[in-house]
Structure 1
Protein backbone atom coordinates (compact mmCIF):
# COMPACT_ATOMS: atom_id res chain seq x y z
CA UNK A 1 0.00 0.00 0.00
CA UNK A 2 1.43 3.35 -1.04
CA UNK A 3 1.57 6.42 1.18
CA UNK A 4 -0.89 8.13 -1.16
CA UNK A 5 -3.41 5.33 -0.65
CA UNK A 6 -2.84 5.38 3.10
CA UNK A 7 -3.44 9.13 3.21
CA UNK A 8 -6.61 8.79 1.11
CA UNK A 9 -7.97 6.05 3.35
CA UNK A 10 -7.22 8.14 6.45
CA UNK A 11 -8.93 11.19 4.95
CA UNK A 12 -12.04 9.22 4.00
CA UNK A 13 -12.21 7.66 7.45
CA UNK A 14 -11.89 11.05 9.13
CA UNK A 15 -14.88 12.32 7.19
CA UNK A 16 -17.05 9.21 7.48
CA UNK A 17 -16.42 8.73 11.22
CA UNK A 18 -17.28 12.36 11.97
CA UNK A 19 -20.89 11.95 10.85
CA UNK A 20 -23.39 11.90 13.75
CA UNK A 21 -24.58 8.33 13.33
CA UNK A 22 -26.16 6.09 16.02
CA UNK A 23 -22.80 5.23 17.63
CA UNK A 24 -21.71 8.86 17.97
CA UNK A 25 -25.13 9.83 19.33
CA UNK A 26 -24.91 7.00 21.89
CA UNK A 27 -21.51 8.28 23.08
CA UNK A 28 -22.83 11.82 23.45
CA UNK A 29 -26.01 10.75 25.24
CA UNK A 30 -24.25 8.39 27.65
CA UNK A 31 -21.59 10.98 28.51
CA UNK A 32 -24.33 13.54 29.13
CA UNK A 33 -26.33 11.21 31.38
CA UNK A 34 -23.61 9.25 33.18
CA UNK A 35 -20.35 11.17 32.78
CA UNK A 36 -17.27 10.89 30.61
CA UNK A 37 -15.76 7.96 32.54
CA UNK A 38 -18.85 5.79 32.08
CA UNK A 39 -18.99 6.69 28.40
CA UNK A 40 -15.62 4.95 27.95
CA UNK A 41 -17.54 1.67 28.17
CA UNK A 42 -19.84 2.92 25.41
CA UNK A 43 -16.82 3.72 23.25
CA UNK A 44 -15.28 0.32 23.97
CA UNK A 45 -18.48 -1.52 23.09
CA UNK A 46 -18.84 0.40 19.83
CA UNK A 47 -15.21 -0.25 18.92
CA UNK A 48 -15.58 -3.99 19.51
CA UNK A 49 -18.77 -3.95 17.42
CA UNK A 50 -16.97 -2.22 14.56
CA UNK A 51 -14.08 -4.67 14.88
CA UNK A 52 -16.52 -7.57 14.50
CA UNK A 53 -17.95 -5.95 11.35
CA UNK A 54 -14.47 -5.47 9.92
CA UNK A 55 -13.55 -9.09 10.62
CA UNK A 56 -16.78 -10.25 8.96
CA UNK A 57 -15.97 -8.06 5.97
CA UNK A 58 -12.51 -9.62 5.80
CA UNK A 59 -14.24 -13.01 5.52
CA UNK A 60 -16.28 -11.75 2.59
CA UNK A 61 -19.63 -11.28 4.33
CA UNK A 62 -19.71 -7.62 3.30
CA UNK A 63 -19.89 -8.67 -0.34
CA UNK A 64 -22.39 -11.38 0.56
CA UNK A 65 -24.71 -8.80 2.13
CA UNK A 66 -24.49 -6.72 -1.04
CA UNK A 67 -25.53 -9.75 -3.12
CA UNK A 68 -28.09 -11.32 -0.75
CA UNK A 69 -30.60 -8.53 -0.17
CA UNK A 70 -32.60 -10.40 2.47
CA UNK A 71 -29.55 -10.62 4.76
CA UNK A 72 -29.06 -6.87 4.54
CA UNK A 73 -32.72 -6.16 5.28
CA UNK A 74 -32.79 -8.58 8.21
CA UNK A 75 -29.80 -6.88 9.85
CA UNK A 76 -31.19 -3.45 8.98
CA UNK A 77 -34.57 -4.10 10.62
CA UNK A 78 -32.97 -5.55 13.74
CA UNK A 79 -30.75 -2.49 14.09
CA UNK A 80 -33.64 -0.11 13.41
CA UNK A 81 -35.86 -1.83 15.97
CA UNK A 82 -33.10 -1.70 18.57
CA UNK A 83 -32.53 2.04 18.07
CA UNK A 84 -36.26 2.71 18.39
CA UNK A 85 -36.35 0.57 21.53
CA UNK A 86 -33.50 2.59 23.06
CA UNK A 87 -35.31 5.82 22.20
CA UNK A 88 -38.53 4.68 23.87
CA UNK A 89 -36.55 3.56 26.92
CA UNK A 90 -35.10 7.08 27.19
CA UNK A 91 -38.58 8.55 27.02
CA UNK A 92 -39.64 6.32 29.89
CA UNK A 93 -36.52 6.81 32.04
CA UNK A 94 -37.47 8.21 35.46
CA UNK A 95 -35.82 11.45 36.52
CA UNK A 96 -33.01 11.12 39.04
CA UNK A 97 -29.89 12.95 40.16
CA UNK A 98 -27.00 12.66 37.73
CA UNK A 99 -24.76 11.27 40.46
CA UNK A 100 -27.30 8.56 41.24
CA UNK A 101 -27.76 7.70 37.57
CA UNK A 102 -24.00 7.39 37.05
CA UNK A 103 -23.65 5.24 40.15
CA UNK A 104 -26.53 2.90 39.33
CA UNK A 105 -25.86 2.29 35.65
CA UNK A 106 -23.93 -0.91 34.98
CA UNK A 107 -20.82 -0.54 32.87
CA UNK A 108 -21.59 -3.86 31.17
CA UNK A 109 -24.95 -2.46 30.09
CA UNK A 110 -23.33 0.52 28.38
CA UNK A 111 -20.77 -1.75 26.69
CA UNK A 112 -23.31 -4.25 25.39
CA UNK A 113 -25.74 -1.54 24.29
CA UNK A 114 -23.08 0.23 22.19
CA UNK A 115 -21.85 -3.11 20.83
CA UNK A 116 -25.33 -3.97 19.59
CA UNK A 117 -25.83 -0.50 18.09
CA UNK A 118 -22.58 -0.86 16.13
CA UNK A 119 -22.85 -4.50 15.09
CA UNK A 120 -26.48 -4.22 13.88
CA UNK A 121 -25.59 -1.37 11.52
CA UNK A 122 -25.59 -3.08 8.09
CA UNK A 123 -24.16 0.04 6.47
CA UNK A 124 -20.98 -0.57 8.44
CA UNK A 125 -20.66 -4.10 7.07
CA UNK A 126 -21.22 -2.91 3.51
CA UNK A 127 -18.90 0.06 4.05
CA UNK A 128 -16.02 -2.08 5.32
CA UNK A 129 -16.63 -4.71 2.66
CA UNK A 130 -16.60 -2.12 -0.13
CA UNK A 131 -13.92 0.27 1.12
CA UNK A 132 -11.17 -1.93 2.52
CA UNK A 133 -10.55 -3.94 -0.68
CA UNK A 134 -9.89 -0.68 -2.57
CA UNK A 135 -6.78 -0.14 -0.44
CA UNK A 136 -5.48 -3.70 -0.36
CA UNK A 137 -2.61 -4.65 -2.68
CA UNK A 138 -3.32 -8.25 -3.67
CA UNK A 139 0.32 -8.66 -4.70
CA UNK A 140 1.34 -8.21 -1.06
CA UNK A 141 0.45 -10.21 2.08
CA UNK A 142 -3.13 -9.24 2.92
CA UNK A 143 -3.39 -9.77 6.71
CA UNK A 144 -0.85 -7.04 7.62
CA UNK A 145 -2.54 -4.57 5.26
CA UNK A 146 -5.97 -5.36 6.64
CA UNK A 147 -4.66 -5.07 10.21
CA UNK A 148 -3.19 -1.62 9.45
CA UNK A 149 -6.46 -0.34 7.96
CA UNK A 150 -8.38 -1.74 10.91
CA UNK A 151 -6.15 -0.01 13.46
CA UNK A 152 -6.34 3.30 11.59
CA UNK A 153 -10.13 3.14 11.44
CA UNK A 154 -10.56 2.16 15.10
CA UNK A 155 -8.22 4.90 16.33
CA UNK A 156 -9.87 7.63 14.25
CA UNK A 157 -13.35 6.42 15.19
CA UNK A 158 -12.40 6.35 18.86
CA UNK A 159 -11.12 9.94 18.65
CA UNK A 160 -14.43 11.09 17.18
CA UNK A 161 -16.38 9.16 19.83
CA UNK A 162 -14.35 10.93 22.52
CA UNK A 163 -15.10 14.30 20.91
CA UNK A 164 -18.83 13.55 20.90
CA UNK A 165 -18.61 12.32 24.49
CA UNK A 166 -16.88 15.54 25.56
CA UNK A 167 -19.73 17.45 23.94
CA UNK A 168 -22.18 15.40 25.97
CA UNK A 169 -20.24 15.95 29.18
CA UNK A 170 -20.41 19.71 28.72
CA UNK A 171 -24.16 19.63 29.28
CA UNK A 172 -24.05 17.61 32.52
CA UNK A 173 -24.34 20.70 34.72
CA UNK A 174 -27.35 21.79 32.70
CA UNK A 175 -28.92 18.37 33.29
CA UNK A 176 -28.94 18.80 37.05
CA UNK A 177 -32.31 20.52 36.62
CA UNK A 178 -35.17 17.94 36.51
CA UNK A 179 -36.90 19.96 33.80
CA UNK A 180 -33.74 20.02 31.70
CA UNK A 181 -33.22 16.32 32.28
CA UNK A 182 -36.76 15.63 31.09
CA UNK A 183 -36.15 17.60 27.91
CA UNK A 184 -32.79 15.87 27.33
CA UNK A 185 -34.37 12.42 27.67
CA UNK A 186 -37.19 13.37 25.33
CA UNK A 187 -34.93 14.93 22.68
CA UNK A 188 -32.31 12.16 22.89
CA UNK A 189 -34.97 9.46 22.70
CA UNK A 190 -36.56 11.19 19.72
CA UNK A 191 -33.22 11.41 17.92
CA UNK A 192 -32.61 7.67 18.41
CA UNK A 193 -36.11 6.85 17.20
CA UNK A 194 -35.64 9.05 14.14
CA UNK A 195 -32.29 7.35 13.48
CA UNK A 196 -34.00 3.96 13.73
CA UNK A 197 -36.76 4.99 11.31
CA UNK A 198 -34.18 6.47 8.92
CA UNK A 199 -32.20 3.21 9.02
CA UNK A 200 -35.33 1.19 8.33
CA UNK A 201 -36.24 3.38 5.35
CA UNK A 202 -32.72 3.62 3.92
CA UNK A 203 -32.14 2.21 0.44
CA UNK A 204 -28.46 1.27 0.98
Structure 2
Protein backbone atom coordinates (compact mmCIF):
# COMPACT_ATOMS: atom_id res chain seq x y z
CA UNK A 1 0.00 0.00 0.00
CA UNK A 2 1.41 3.46 -0.91
CA UNK A 3 2.43 5.55 2.08
CA UNK A 4 -0.04 8.35 1.28
CA UNK A 5 -2.92 5.86 1.23
CA UNK A 6 -1.76 4.36 4.50
CA UNK A 7 -1.72 7.76 6.18
CA UNK A 8 -5.17 8.52 4.79
CA UNK A 9 -6.55 5.30 6.24
CA UNK A 10 -4.90 6.03 9.60
CA UNK A 11 -6.38 9.56 9.63
CA UNK A 12 -9.89 8.34 8.83
CA UNK A 13 -9.67 5.56 11.41
CA UNK A 14 -8.40 7.98 14.04
CA UNK A 15 -11.46 10.19 13.60
CA UNK A 16 -14.00 7.37 13.32
CA UNK A 17 -12.67 5.50 16.36
CA UNK A 18 -12.72 8.66 18.48
CA UNK A 19 -16.45 9.21 18.01
CA UNK A 20 -18.44 8.57 21.22
CA UNK A 21 -20.48 5.61 20.04
CA UNK A 22 -22.01 2.74 22.06
CA UNK A 23 -18.70 0.87 22.42
CA UNK A 24 -16.80 3.87 23.77
CA UNK A 25 -19.70 4.65 26.08
CA UNK A 26 -19.64 1.07 27.40
CA UNK A 27 -15.89 1.34 28.11
CA UNK A 28 -16.41 4.55 30.07
CA UNK A 29 -19.36 3.20 32.05
CA UNK A 30 -17.71 -0.13 32.93
CA UNK A 31 -14.49 1.60 33.99
CA UNK A 32 -16.52 4.01 36.11
CA UNK A 33 -18.47 1.26 37.82
CA UNK A 34 -15.88 -1.51 38.12
CA UNK A 35 -12.48 0.07 37.48
CA UNK A 36 -10.09 0.29 34.55
CA UNK A 37 -8.88 -3.29 34.94
CA UNK A 38 -12.42 -4.63 34.58
CA UNK A 39 -12.97 -2.47 31.51
CA UNK A 40 -10.23 -4.45 29.76
CA UNK A 41 -12.84 -7.20 29.37
CA UNK A 42 -15.13 -4.62 27.76
CA UNK A 43 -12.36 -3.70 25.31
CA UNK A 44 -11.65 -7.37 24.56
CA UNK A 45 -15.32 -8.13 23.88
CA UNK A 46 -15.75 -5.06 21.69
CA UNK A 47 -12.57 -5.87 19.78
CA UNK A 48 -13.76 -9.43 19.10
CA UNK A 49 -17.09 -8.03 17.88
CA UNK A 50 -15.30 -5.67 15.50
CA UNK A 51 -13.08 -8.50 14.26
CA UNK A 52 -16.21 -10.51 13.42
CA UNK A 53 -17.58 -7.55 11.44
CA UNK A 54 -14.26 -7.15 9.63
CA UNK A 55 -14.25 -10.83 8.73
CA UNK A 56 -17.82 -10.63 7.43
CA UNK A 57 -16.91 -7.56 5.40
CA UNK A 58 -13.89 -9.34 3.95
CA UNK A 59 -16.19 -12.21 2.95
CA UNK A 60 -18.49 -9.79 1.16
CA UNK A 61 -21.35 -9.60 3.65
CA UNK A 62 -21.06 -5.81 3.67
CA UNK A 63 -22.22 -5.76 0.04
CA UNK A 64 -24.97 -8.26 0.85
CA UNK A 65 -26.29 -6.08 3.66
CA UNK A 66 -26.34 -3.05 1.38
CA UNK A 67 -28.43 -4.99 -1.15
CA UNK A 68 -30.65 -6.91 1.29
CA UNK A 69 -32.25 -4.10 3.27
CA UNK A 70 -34.13 -6.39 5.66
CA UNK A 71 -30.86 -7.90 6.94
CA UNK A 72 -29.49 -4.46 7.69
CA UNK A 73 -32.64 -3.33 9.49
CA UNK A 74 -32.80 -6.55 11.51
CA UNK A 75 -29.24 -6.05 12.80
CA UNK A 76 -29.99 -2.40 13.40
CA UNK A 77 -33.11 -2.97 15.50
CA UNK A 78 -31.56 -5.82 17.50
CA UNK A 79 -28.60 -3.60 18.40
CA UNK A 80 -30.85 -0.67 19.24
CA UNK A 81 -33.13 -2.77 21.45
CA UNK A 82 -30.14 -4.23 23.29
CA UNK A 83 -28.74 -0.77 24.05
CA UNK A 84 -32.10 0.40 25.40
CA UNK A 85 -32.33 -2.77 27.52
CA UNK A 86 -28.86 -2.20 28.98
CA UNK A 87 -29.69 1.43 29.68
CA UNK A 88 -32.89 0.56 31.54
CA UNK A 89 -31.10 -2.13 33.53
CA UNK A 90 -28.41 0.35 34.53
CA UNK A 91 -30.97 2.99 35.53
CA UNK A 92 -32.62 0.41 37.82
CA UNK A 93 -29.33 -0.86 39.29
CA UNK A 94 -28.80 -0.52 43.04
CA UNK A 95 -25.73 1.28 44.41
CA UNK A 96 -22.76 -1.00 45.08
CA UNK A 97 -19.99 -0.72 47.63
CA UNK A 98 -16.54 0.63 46.80
CA UNK A 99 -15.14 -2.87 47.29
CA UNK A 100 -17.66 -4.36 44.90
CA UNK A 101 -16.87 -1.70 42.30
CA UNK A 102 -13.30 -2.93 41.96
CA UNK A 103 -13.98 -6.61 42.65
CA UNK A 104 -12.96 -8.95 39.80
CA UNK A 105 -16.44 -10.30 39.13
CA UNK A 106 -18.68 -10.86 36.10
CA UNK A 107 -15.77 -11.05 33.64
CA UNK A 108 -17.75 -13.16 31.19
CA UNK A 109 -20.81 -10.94 31.47
CA UNK A 110 -18.79 -7.77 30.83
CA UNK A 111 -17.03 -9.41 27.88
CA UNK A 112 -20.18 -10.82 26.25
CA UNK A 113 -22.13 -7.59 26.72
CA UNK A 114 -19.45 -5.57 24.93
CA UNK A 115 -19.23 -8.19 22.18
CA UNK A 116 -22.98 -7.98 21.52
CA UNK A 117 -22.89 -4.16 21.49
CA UNK A 118 -20.11 -4.17 18.90
CA UNK A 119 -21.30 -7.00 16.67
CA UNK A 120 -24.90 -5.68 16.43
CA UNK A 121 -23.77 -2.20 15.43
CA UNK A 122 -24.65 -2.00 11.71
CA UNK A 123 -22.51 1.11 11.34
CA UNK A 124 -19.48 -1.10 11.93
CA UNK A 125 -20.44 -3.54 9.20
CA UNK A 126 -21.15 -0.76 6.72
CA UNK A 127 -17.97 1.07 7.74
CA UNK A 128 -15.71 -1.93 7.25
CA UNK A 129 -17.54 -3.03 4.11
CA UNK A 130 -17.37 0.42 2.54
CA UNK A 131 -13.98 1.68 3.71
CA UNK A 132 -11.67 -1.33 3.56
CA UNK A 133 -12.16 -1.98 -0.18
CA UNK A 134 -11.08 1.59 -0.94
CA UNK A 135 -7.59 0.74 0.31
CA UNK A 136 -7.32 -2.72 -1.21
CA UNK A 137 -5.34 -3.31 -4.42
CA UNK A 138 -6.97 -6.24 -6.20
CA UNK A 139 -3.80 -6.76 -8.22
CA UNK A 140 -2.03 -7.96 -5.09
CA UNK A 141 -2.74 -10.65 -2.49
CA UNK A 142 -5.84 -9.64 -0.52
CA UNK A 143 -5.17 -11.38 2.82
CA UNK A 144 -2.03 -9.38 3.81
CA UNK A 145 -3.77 -6.12 2.92
CA UNK A 146 -6.86 -6.92 4.99
CA UNK A 147 -4.61 -8.02 7.83
CA UNK A 148 -2.69 -4.72 7.79
CA UNK A 149 -5.88 -2.63 7.80
CA UNK A 150 -7.34 -4.78 10.57
CA UNK A 151 -4.26 -4.44 12.78
CA UNK A 152 -4.22 -0.66 12.31
CA UNK A 153 -7.92 -0.31 13.12
CA UNK A 154 -7.79 -2.57 16.19
CA UNK A 155 -4.71 -0.78 17.56
CA UNK A 156 -6.23 2.69 17.18
CA UNK A 157 -9.59 1.54 18.49
CA UNK A 158 -7.94 0.09 21.61
CA UNK A 159 -6.14 3.40 22.20
CA UNK A 160 -9.40 5.32 22.11
CA UNK A 161 -11.23 2.74 24.24
CA UNK A 162 -8.46 3.13 26.83
CA UNK A 163 -8.86 6.91 26.75
CA UNK A 164 -12.60 6.63 27.39
CA UNK A 165 -12.03 4.01 30.09
CA UNK A 166 -9.48 6.21 31.87
CA UNK A 167 -12.06 8.97 31.85
CA UNK A 168 -14.51 6.57 33.45
CA UNK A 169 -11.93 5.51 36.06
CA UNK A 170 -11.52 9.10 37.19
CA UNK A 171 -15.24 9.10 37.94
CA UNK A 172 -14.73 6.31 40.51
CA UNK A 173 -13.60 8.79 43.17
CA UNK A 174 -16.96 10.50 42.79
CA UNK A 175 -18.84 7.20 43.10
CA UNK A 176 -18.06 6.52 46.74
CA UNK A 177 -21.52 7.58 47.90
CA UNK A 178 -24.79 5.79 46.99
CA UNK A 179 -26.38 9.08 45.92
CA UNK A 180 -23.64 9.79 43.39
CA UNK A 181 -23.85 6.22 42.12
CA UNK A 182 -27.57 6.62 41.52
CA UNK A 183 -26.92 9.81 39.53
CA UNK A 184 -24.20 8.07 37.53
CA UNK A 185 -26.46 5.07 36.80
CA UNK A 186 -29.31 7.30 35.67
CA UNK A 187 -27.11 9.48 33.46
CA UNK A 188 -25.21 6.53 31.97
CA UNK A 189 -28.37 4.48 31.50
CA UNK A 190 -30.09 7.45 29.89
CA UNK A 191 -27.18 7.86 27.48
CA UNK A 192 -27.40 4.18 26.50
CA UNK A 193 -31.16 4.48 25.94
CA UNK A 194 -30.59 7.62 23.86
CA UNK A 195 -27.87 5.85 21.86
CA UNK A 196 -30.25 2.95 21.17
CA UNK A 197 -33.04 5.26 20.05
CA UNK A 198 -30.64 7.24 17.86
CA UNK A 199 -29.38 4.00 16.29
CA UNK A 200 -32.91 2.77 15.65
CA UNK A 201 -33.93 5.92 13.78
CA UNK A 202 -30.62 6.76 12.14
CA UNK A 203 -30.42 6.77 8.37
CA UNK A 204 -27.26 4.92 7.34
Same fold (TM over 0.5): yes
CA–CA distance in structure 2, aligned partners of residues 168 and 104 of structure 1: 17
Asked if the contact 1:27–1:164 (Cα under 8 Å) also holds between the matched residues in 2, the reply is: yes
TM-score by length of 1: 0.98
1:160 deviation in Å?
Answer: 0.1
In the alignment, does 2:105 pair up with 1:100?
no
- Residues 106-157 of structure 1 show CA distances to partners (whole Å, capped at 9, x for unaligned) of 1111100000000000110011000000000111101000000000000000
Residues 92-131 of structure 1 aligned to structure 2 (within 5 Å): 92-103=92-103, 105-131=105-131
What does residue 87 of structure 1 align with? 87
What does residue 34 of structure 1 align with? 34
Asked if the contact 2:174–2:180 (Cα under 8 Å) also holds between the matched residues in 1, the reply is: yes
CA–CA distance in structure 2, aligned partners of residues 22 and 168 of structure 1: 14
In the alignment, does 2:19 pair up with 1:19?
yes
1:101 deviation in Å?
Answer: 3.5
Show structure 2 runs of 5+ residues with no match. none
1:103 deviation in Å?
Answer: 2.0
What does residue 164 of structure 1 align with? 164
- Secondary structure at the aligned position of 1:105 is classed as coil
- Secondary structure at the aligned position of 1:170 is classed as helix
What does residue 144 of structure 2 align with? 144
1:92 deviation in Å?
Answer: 1.0
CA–CA distance in structure 2, aligned partners of residues 89 and 101 of structure 1: 17
CA–CA distance in structure 2, aligned partners of residues 85 and 98 of structure 1: 25
Q: Which runs of 4+ in 1 moved over 4 A?
A: none
Asked if the contact 1:33–1:98 (Cα under 8 Å) also holds between the matched residues in 2, the reply is: no
What does residue 68 of structure 2 align with? 68
CA–CA distance in structure 2, aligned partners of residues 50 and 147 of structure 1: 13
